[in-house]
Structure 1
Amino acid sequence: MTPPTPSPASASEPAPARLTRAEKIDAATPANRNRVVDLLRALAITVVVLGHWTIIAVDADGGLQPHGVLDGARWTHPLTWVFQVMPIFFLVGGYSNALSWRSARRKGTTYASWLRARLRRLGIPLVPVLITWLVICAVALAAGADAETVRLASQMALIPTWFLASYLLVIMVAPPLLVVWERIGWWSVLIGIALAGAVDFASIALHVPVVGFANYLLVWAAFHQIGFAWLDGHLTGAGRRVLLAAIGAAGLAVLVGLGPYPVSMITAGGDAISNSNPTRVTMAFLGLLQAGLVLLLEKPLAQLMTRPRLWMAAVVVNMRIMSWFLWHLTAMVGTAHLLLALAGRFPALRVLLPEPLSGPWWASRPLWCLTLIGVTLLFVAVMGRFETVPADERPSPPVWQPILAAVLTVAGLAVLASVGMVTTTGHGLGALAWWWAALPIIGIAGCGIIDWGRGRR
């Protein structure tokens, strides 16, 4: 049969315009999706990445300087109130986790299945990073590299894992926290912050520093509930948001101005106390300040996200946000050591490593960041596939499996972010501390998080 010939009337009608990819993504997005949540997550990760690349200095004579800018330029410390954006992650995390758990409750999904799904999204992309650094450290030590240099490099590259450890802790308790929030509301936030303050008192004033690590959970679990409040409409209206920001600002002013806490919200070598390692109650008040200010911009940001191209950019970043976050410091450490090696062999290339905080150093920061964006995108292009996690159709596991996987992952990451993968014994000697990286790998690969039988089915 021959295809029907269009009538003159239909032939004269204009063909419908083809939708661009951005317009297709925009049209496919559910109308009830809060696009500001995705935008804030994408912006926060971008600020973290650019902040790390700027704060960490590379000196041709001294190598990597973890807190180079903060240690050498005290005037940058107040800026950390803007650039320490980890609270924003927990704000959008609270919103998303509450939305996800309530959906799971409606569908009859068990806690074990829900936690396993969260671990698949966060944990599977982590395994390649840990294996990569195990190989790098083993080869470097076998080749006779200075153990302290290798240790510092691995620690620097794995700094992002401290956030992942804290976030996994909060995810584990998110469902019961949501129940508490639904019953007593703002009192749950107040009680959490009060407990965090008590932990700080014991840690700092009573000189029991180990107690302070409890605040990795208490501070972020308390602030995480601000996301619940946002979702449930308890922060509607400019007045409530201004009040939230004012409480945060007042709390910070008192704690920093009259208390023992430093100005910098990011660890600086010259400070006796760190606000972030371990997490202090100051971070909760910083979060209140930031959340209040950010939510004041919710309407204009939502309007901005109606533009298809901007919305597509936010979607693309969120699709690979774990890869972007986990690999950006590996890209920096690798690039820095390559430049250090080249400058050591060819002194003329020292111009590529200007003295930190000098005029040429500041002027070269945009080029430095652009270079690292290119290198990181190569990692994302190769490793991003691990972030595409298929739907898990398996039956609900025993509850101990995802809990054990989470505990092993948190334990390993907490140590790696603090000390790296190498133990040093002096005189440049060291050993591979493989067991800390093995804990998360065992938890994710051996506790049912990875679906090994998917291919056979």
Structure 2
Amino acid sequence: MDGDEHRPLSRAEQVDAATPDSRNRVVDFLRAAAITVVVLGHWTIMAVSVDGGLQPHGVLDQARWTHPLTWVFQVMPIFFLVGGYSNALSWRSARRRQEGYASWLRTRLRRLGIPLLPLLLTWLVICTLALALGAPAQTVRLASQMALIPTWFLAAYLLVIVLAPACLVLWERFGWYSIIGGVVLAGLVDALSITTGQPLLGYPNYVLVWAAFHQFGYAWLDGRLAGAGRRLVLAAIGAAGLVLLVGPGPYPVSMITAGTDAISNSNPTRVTMAFLGMMQAGLVLLAERPLTALLRRPRVWLVTVLLNRRIMSWFLWHLTALVGLAHLLVALDAQTLLPQPLTGTWWATRPLWCLALLAITGVIVLVVGRFEDPRADDRPAPALWRPVLAAALVCAGLAVMATSGMVGSDGVNWVWPLLPVVGLLGLGMVRLRP
């Protein structure tokens, strides 16, 4: 026993011992698990072949039986659930320290924005060089669009962060009614957008749906979702809402955009995503107690911590790895390595495909991961307009690029990738000097 008492602690044990008892480890686990599902899902649904090239939603377009599976693999609501928990915790802590909104928002912008800058600048260089070397504009446009798909989430999430303190006030004053009101408004926006056939009219739901659902994270933090009964009710409400909306309602089954569907549940965000989130949140929170016990194991907790430490890099760069490998293999006419999508050979080789992409992305993360460890920013709080304008510029640029990439008919659309750069660097959210 004496030998055990005096042996050096392993790294896993050191990390475990350094974690405060007050930390909810399930929040970190769900964030890491969700990013893993997103990455593997993107690597699977995007089919690649020598004849067809890169097909963004090839599996969903060619195999409708996969559409119900998106109720499991579309896990963006989980990000907003844990985001609500974390943002409420962070803002309340800032209030106790008497830290103002401007300083708090700058900190959140830095956390999201600093890892983003290398991705945008890298793709600016790629697009410029590819077009200069004679690559077809449409090919480069699609490549940049596919690589930058993750930026739609950042745009939506950043908008919710900007509104998080105000939404927390609504939650603290009105409770569940603040969520119900947001979902009802989102339903009215959908009704207008769908009946008029104008998807653009549905874009306010990027804010309404996610800001409303984000508040379930507040409810989790405040103990308003404690107990198996409440969590079962939440899951049942979500499941019933989904069944009604995709059954007799006008919404498609797939929670991820498919080219064969007239309406998309995710572009723009529809009220279906709020009900999907309720179902998922209720189910995953039912597992909170066993997950908490599991995460008390030092090795499991170490893996969770390591994934969270580089989570932005994995998320932002995993599709760049796919786009790069896909174009290389197509250029080499590597038909043996690119079996026809949805054949038996194609399904059998998906684990190898994912392992290859995992290795490539891992190398990229080793290079760019340091941008997730910026130095502390001890500057005085900025004027309020600066972080608010910076957030608006970042959201505007990312929203356009997530839809149309960086290349248009006239070449590189410099304005969209430069908007986030101007917002983060030009408005002083990120310091250029060390």
Q: TM-score range by the shorter chain?
A: over 0.9
**1:434 has 2:434 as partner:** no
The one-letter amino acid of 2:380's match is: P
Quote the residue 1:155 is aligned against. Answer: 145
Paired residues for 1:163-312 under 5 Å: 163-312=153-302
The one-letter amino acid of 1:412's match is: G
Q: Which runs of 4+ in 1 moved over 6 A?
A: 12-15
Matches of 2:165 and 2:375 in 1, distance apart? 23
Unpaired segments ≥5 residues, structure 1: 1-11, 344-348, 425-429
Matches of 1:181 and 1:400 in 2, distance apart? 25
- Percent identity between the aligned chains? 69
Shift of 1:187: 0.2
Matches of 1:238 and 1:173 in 2, distance apart? 30
Paired residues for 1:58-457 under 5 Å: 58-343=48-333, 349-424=334-409, 430-453=410-433, 455=434
Shift of 1:209: 2.7
8 Å CA contact retained: 2:78, 2:281: yes
Matches of 1:172 and 1:156 in 2, distance apart? 27
Shift of 1:59: 1.2
The one-letter amino acid of 1:352's match is: L
Larger Rg: 1
Matches of 1:437 and 1:324 in 2, distance apart? 20
The one-letter amino acid of 1:44's match is: A
Q: 1:181 to 1:13 in 2, by over 3 A?
A: closer
Equivalent position SS for 1:352: coil
Equivalent position SS for 1:64: strand
Unpaired segments ≥5 residues, structure 2: none
Shift of 1:451: 2.2
Give a deviation string over 1:229-263, Cα, whole Å, max 9, x none.
00000001100000000000010011000111000
8 Å CA contact retained: 2:80, 2:217: yes
Give a deviation string over 1:354-393, Cα, whole Å, max 9, x none.
0000010000000000000000001100000111122211
8 Å CA contact retained: 2:239, 2:275: yes
Q: TM-score, normalised by structure 2?
A: 0.99
Q: 1:14 to 1:138 in 2, by over 3 A?
A: closer
**1:57 has 2:47 as partner:** yes
Shift of 1:18: 0.7
Shift of 1:208: 3.5
The one-letter amino acid of 1:405's match is: A
Q: 1:14 to 1:240 in 2, by over 3 A?
A: closer
Matches of 1:406 and 1:264 in 2, distance apart? 31
The one-letter amino acid of 2:374's match is: V
8 Å CA contact retained: 2:49, 2:335: no
Matches of 2:285 and 2:4 in 1, distance apart? 44
Quote the residue 2:33 is aligned against. Answer: 43
Quote the residue 1:21 is aligned against. Answer: 11
Q: TM-score, normalised by structure 1?
A: 0.94
Shift of 1:13: 8.1
Q: 1:179 to 1:363 in 2, by over 3 A?
A: same
Matches of 2:233 and 2:164 in 1, distance apart? 25
8 Å CA contact retained: 2:199, 2:268: no
Give a deviation string over 1:1-25, Cα, whole Å, max 9, x none.
xxxxxxxxxxx98870110000000
Equivalent position SS for 1:244: helix
Q: 1:434 to 1:31 in 2, by over 3 A?
A: same
The one-letter amino acid of 2:97's match is: K
Shift of 1:452: 3.0
Give me the CA root mean square deviation.
Answer: 1.0
Shift of 1:449: 1.0
Shift of 1:448: 1.2
